[in-house]
Amino acid sequence: MCNWEQAWLAYEPIENQRNRKFFKSVYTDQNGELIISALREIETASEKLFSIQIIRTDDREKAGILLEIDPSPDLGTEGYEITEENDRIYIRAAGENGLLYGTFRFLLMVSAGKDITGISLQENPQNPIRMLNQWDNIDGSIERGYAGNSFFYENGKVCVTKRITDYARLLCSVGINAISINNVNVRDGAEWLITEKHYNELAQIAGIFGKYGISMYLCIDFAAPMTLDGLPCADPLNEDVRKWWEKKCGEIFSRIPNMGGFLVKADSEGRPGPFAYGRNHADGANMLARAVKPYGGTIIWRCFVYNCQQDWRDRRTDRACAGYDNFMPLDGKFDDNVILQIKNGPIDFQVREPVHPLFGGLQHTNQMLEVQIAQEYTGQQIDVCYLVPMWKEVLDFSTGCGKPQDTVADIVSGRTFGQQKCGMAAVANTGRDANWTGHDLAGANLYGFGRLAWNPQISAEEIVQEWISLQISRDSDVKMMIADILLRSREVYEKYTAPLGIGFMVNPAYHYGPNPEGYEYSKWGTYHRADHLAVGVDRSEKGTGYSEQYFEKNAALYRDTESCPENLLLFFHRVPYTHRLRSGKTLIQHIYDSHFEGYADVQKMQRDWNCLEDKIPQHIFQRVKERFVRQAENSREWCDVINSFFYRKSMIPDEMGREIF
Ligand code: GCW
């Protein structure tokens, strides 16, 4: 017995038997390790869904499920085709990866209760790289982890457990094909992962992921030549440093199979990087890229670089500008095996931010979108917040970069500028909790990220329906109720937390709960600058100039208070409390109303959830019920604290006369 559940691979016994007929036997003439994974998955699903012990047959004519290689030009290396012909399921692909993805898709459709008869489906992933970033520390803790400790590490050791196989299955089933398995902040012993001390275990883990088509990445310490071997510097242009990395990479890639490369956080929030030697990010990234090149390796270099030592009096320095300022001048200077990884917004995973202006700006550089499935600023897997709608907004954003295909989805898929190394990455929300994600409903975010990275066109609604069928219930009423909660959850969270794009009114350090001035007097540079007359930061050309980093179409929209989308108003502008919004309400009244409404919405969601008591598995019901109790308290606190803060600043009373402390 294992002490974790199977999330969307639960394969709960299915009453509707219409797909049973396919599960009599399976045929394939392939024998690679991915095929073995596919066959094993078919066996597991067959047993659990239908109590059938499916057999493998050599007689192609008798098989119910056939996995066949078909080098058809329509199918890329990871694509597949699923068809039903005469009560037989054909899964065809150009290679093993496609067969494995096709197998999972077929099994998930069956498990979701879909009728497979007559199916004819052909799919290719739109993003070449679909990656998860674990922020797991070697002591077993997880930075911004809200689902228990790491299942990769414990007390300074790498653990190879059965759970990692189940994780690989979950990820592969939604199309993830890359994973970095340690925190981007490489410290407290994690620097030593790339040494003899840990190679054996890392090789085993890489092997497990390899069986599911997932390549493994490690995060490295840019100063490793100094930390591990006492070199006097880590200057990327220094000959000894360059040689050190070349030798080290030879070692790593020969000891660990299936290595994709490194993910690097450099010159950010105290991490070492090329700046110390007067070098730039291209110098740093290219030096590493050349060291991994002989092994086909890739360097993923993060763009989350800003000055976290800001002075509040300095109104021209703006953290939002920093990513663009640092990387735009380097466009075209990175080697072809470097990818820049760019957070969805310019600040830091807030519930509402504009899209990062590097998207569309960078035209000669491989790039990936980074989102955060871990709910650091969106409720920490205590509050429900379904993030797929937010990611879709980002993907659908038209950058105005002058190309016919100019959305973020176009750009990161490689369609716009013809890149091959690109895609989507996300900070994982998983840990040792039995349900993997702490809040059961946060499972929809992990599942949803994979589905969206595979195909950004799928709707948030479709994803949620699939996920509920697989993980909670196939009953259509239940699905409707849970989907309804999930689909409005982000908007609700936004209503009771920080208004109109202002963000960051959280408690410093741990980032849960309200604290409007928590970051106002710190050096991290996320100010809202609320006083008795107005709130917000002028990021137009008259202010910090951030709006001017966009192409004119968007710059024009953002720089003007009148045309600025209201949900980002305070991100781009400093606005008096008496300013009238398009609704006719004053800004201050909108803030009050939104917070009261958000709190009321949470209570409504809580009531809706409580109606599900007898309709879904008890353990899931109870766990989420407990989360709603905490969310209700949290939303109440946000409502009180934020309203009281703005009331005391503005001294303008609520028109409705509600109680504000
Ligand atoms: O905002 C910050 C988080 C850090 C994180 C950092 C990053 C891993 O609070 O915990 O560090 O983002 O993305 O590097």
- Domain locations along the chain: 7-123, 129-308+315-457, 495-537+574-650
Distance (angstroms) between ligand 1 centre and the Cα of 251 equals 30
Average pLDDT over residues 322-347: 98
Active site residue 376: yes
Residue nearest (by alpha carbon) to ligand 1 atom 2: 348
Question: Is 455's C-beta closer than 6 angstroms to any atom of ligand 1?
Answer: no
- Round to whole Å and give the CA distance between 234 and 255: 24
Percent of the chain with pLDDT over 90: 96
Q: Of 5, 84, 136, 348, which one is the catalytic site residue?
A: 348
Angle between helices 443-454 and 162-173 (to 10 degrees): 50
- Round to whole Å and give the CA distance between 265 and 277: 16
Q: Identify the helix (H) or strand (E) that includes residue 599.
A: helix 587-610
Active site residue 166: no
For domain 129-308+315-457, give the CATH number. 3.20.20.80
Distance (angstroms) between ligand 1 centre and the Cα of 346 equals 13
- Round to whole Å and give the CA distance between 91 and 68: 6
Residue nearest (by alpha carbon) to ligand 1 atom 1: 348
Q: Which of 421, 431, 486 is nearest to 131 (CA)?
A: 421
* Residue recorded with tokens 């047959």: 57
Average pLDDT over residues 366-373: 98
According to the model, what pLDDT value does residue 425 have?
99
Average pLDDT over residues 119-139: 98
Residue 442 pLDDT more than 80? yes
Average pLDDT over residues 122-151: 98
Residue 645 pLDDT more than 70? yes
- Round to whole Å and give the CA distance between 469 and 484: 14
Q: Give every CB contact of residue 460 below 8 A, 6+ residues apart in sequence.
A: 386, 388, 389, 392, 448, 487
Q: Which of 320, 302, 196, 173 is nearest to 248 (CA)?
A: 196
Residue range 406-435, pLDDT digits in tens: 999 999 999 999 999 999 999 999 999 999
Distance (angstroms) between ligand 1 centre and the Cα of 348 equals 8
According to the model, what pLDDT value does residue 304 have?
97
According to the model, what pLDDT value does residue 1 have?
64
Residue 440: C-alpha distances to residues 323, 384, 397, 433 (Å): 34, 9, 30, 10
Residue range 38-76, pLDDT digits in tens: 999 999 999 999 999 999 999 999 999 999 999 888 899
Question: Is 209's C-beta closer than 6 angstroms to any atom of ligand 1?
Answer: no
Question: Is 425's C-beta closer than 6 angstroms to any atom of ligand 1?
Answer: no
81 within 8 A of 75, measured Cβ to Cβ: yes
Residue range 261-276, pLDDT digits in tens: 999 999 999 999 999 9
pLDDT tier for residue 312 given thresholds of 50, 70 and 90:
confident
Residue to probe by mutation, ligand 1, list 263, 300, 305, 348, most atoms within 8 Å of CB = 348
Reply yes or no on domain 7-123 having CATH 3.40.920.10: no
Secondary structure of residue 90 in the 3-state scheme = strand
* Residue recorded with tokens 């500008």: 321
Q: What is the 3-state secondary structure (H, E, C) of 445-487?
A: HHHHHHHHHHCCCCCHHHHHHHHHHHHCCCCHHHHHHHHHHHH
Question: Strand 55-56's sheet: what is its strand order?
Answer: 55-56, 25-28, 65-69, 88-93, 80-85, 120-123
Q: Give every CB contact of residue 369 below 8 A, 6+ residues apart in sequence.
A: 341, 342, 344, 359, 394, 395, 408, 412, 423, 424, 425
Helix, strand, coil in percent for the chain, rounding step 5: 40, 15, 45
Average pLDDT over residues 608-619: 98
> Can you list the positions of beta strands (E) in 53-177?
55-56, 65-69, 80-85, 88-93, 120-123, 129-133, 153-154, 157-158
State pTM to two decimals. 0.98
Distance (angstroms) between ligand 1 centre and the Cα of 183 equals 10
306-310-313-315 Cα dihedral, nearest 10 degrees: 0
At 427, which amino acid appears?
A: V
According to the model, what pLDDT value does residue 332 have?
98
Q: Identify the helix (H) or strand (E) that includes residue 609.
A: helix 587-610
Q: Give every CB contact of residue 233 below 8 A, 6+ residues apart in sequence.
A: 225, 226, 241, 277
CA atoms within 13 A on the CB side of 430: 30
Both tokens of 102, joined, read: 């096709």
ipTM over 0.90: yes
Residue range 543-590, pLDDT digits in tens: 999 999 999 999 999 999 999 999 999 999 999 999 999 999 999 999
Active site residue 115: no
According to the model, what pLDDT value does residue 72 have?
83
Residue range 464-486, pLDDT digits in tens: 999 999 999 999 999 999 999 99
Q: Which atom of ligand 1 is nearest to the CA of 184?
A: 8
Q: Of 376, 406, 433, 494, which one is the catalytic site residue?
A: 376
Distance (angstroms) between ligand 1 centre and the Cα of 17 equals 48
At 567, which amino acid appears?
A: N
Residue 282 pLDDT more than 80? yes
Distance (angstroms) between ligand 1 centre and the Cα of 135 equals 9
* Domain 495-537+574-650 -> CATH class: alpha beta
- Round to whole Å and give the CA distance between 257 and 326: 34
Residue range 93-121, pLDDT digits in tens: 999 999 999 999 999 999 999 999 999 99
The bridge status of strand 575-576 relative to strand 153-154 is: unpaired
Q: Which of 320, 347, 346 is nearest to 539 (CA)?
A: 320
According to the model, what pLDDT value does residue 179 have?
99
Both tokens of 218, joined, read: 């490690």
Tell me what the pLDDT averaged over the chain comes to. Answer: 97
Lowest mean pLDDT among 170-174, 522-526, 572-576: 522-526
Question: DSSP per residue over 505-547, as a string?
Answer: -BPTTT--SB-TTTTTTSTT-------SSEES---STTTT-GG
Q: Of 269, 314, 484, 633, which one is the catalytic site residue?
A: 269
